[in-house]
Amino acid sequence: MTADPNAPTPTLPLSAEQLLTTTRAVRKRLDFDRPVPRALLRECVEAALQAPSGSNRWAMQFVIVTDPERRRALADVYRAGYALYREMDGVYIGSVDKGDEELNRQQQRTARSADHLAENMHRAPALVVACAPGRAEGDVAPIRKTTLLGSVLPGMWSFMLAARLRGLGTAWTTVHLFKEQDAADVLGIPNDAVTMGALTPVAFTKGTDFRPALRPDPDSVIHWDRW
């Protein structure tokens, strides 16, 4: 029997709470050798378009890179930005001191996985960049800056949640923006008229059992009624 191409993609049996708490930055468990069908990527974009958008303008645009040579070129730009990021003491993930031995061990594990992703970014079957038409530089209204990226970043997170449901791994990254013009040149993006947001690799994951990450106690970050 021929499969129905219009049939919905099977999804993982995750509750909403599980989906929100186990959509992790996947780096070492990306299956670089398994192709990702375009139909799956399209489904993730379809879900992302339901995210909030300033003034209901539907401003989000996606550049999805599957061509091997272009992936490699974009990954080279990413690595150049990552090299600059690694030099930023106290900002680079591996240089952050959390003041606790256990937390610092976990931080170093995360740093090693981030280094691994930088070395292997070109191997991901797809690289996805979320974009918004327009630039905020020089705009006198602060709300413009908030609205511009506020119309892109929630949708990128929705893309990642949709990917997780379909057994795909993602990782939120932005260091390509250290070399923004170079990234724009690789992707053919008019950098004076379009703002790039986050970049993520997309690949099937090796296993689907992800757990919530170590995070602060809610009471340590809540300010009731005032700061």
Q: What is the dihedral of CA 25, 189, 177, 63, to 10 degrees?
A: 0
pLDDT computed for residue 135 by the predictor:
85
Per-residue model confidence as pLDDT tens digits over 165-216: 999 999 999 999 999 999 999 999 999 999 999 999 999 999 999 999 888 8
Topology of the domain covering 29-206: NADH Oxidase (3.40.109)
Reported confidence tier of residue 1, pLDDT bands at 50, 70, 90: very low
Return all residues near 134 (Cβ < 8 A) that are at least 6 apart. 59, 148, 193, 194, 195
Tokens at residue 46, please? 């379809």
22 φψ region: left (φ > 0), alpha (ψ -120 to 50), beta (else): alpha
**C-alpha span between 176 and 182 (Å, rounded):** 9
* Strands lying side by side in the sheet with 168-169: 61-65, 126-133, 194-204, 168-169
Q: What would the mean pLDDT of 63-89 be, rounded to a whole number?
A: 97
pLDDT computed for residue 147 by the predictor:
80
Per-residue model confidence as pLDDT tens digits over 95-126: 999 888 888 888 999 999 999 999 999 999 99
Cβ–Cβ under 8 Å, residues 122 and 194: no
- Work out the burial of residue 208: count CB atoms within 10 Å of its CB; fewer than 13 is exposed, 13-18 middle, 19 or more buried: middle
Higher pLDDT, 156 or 52: 156
pLDDT computed for residue 141 by the predictor:
61
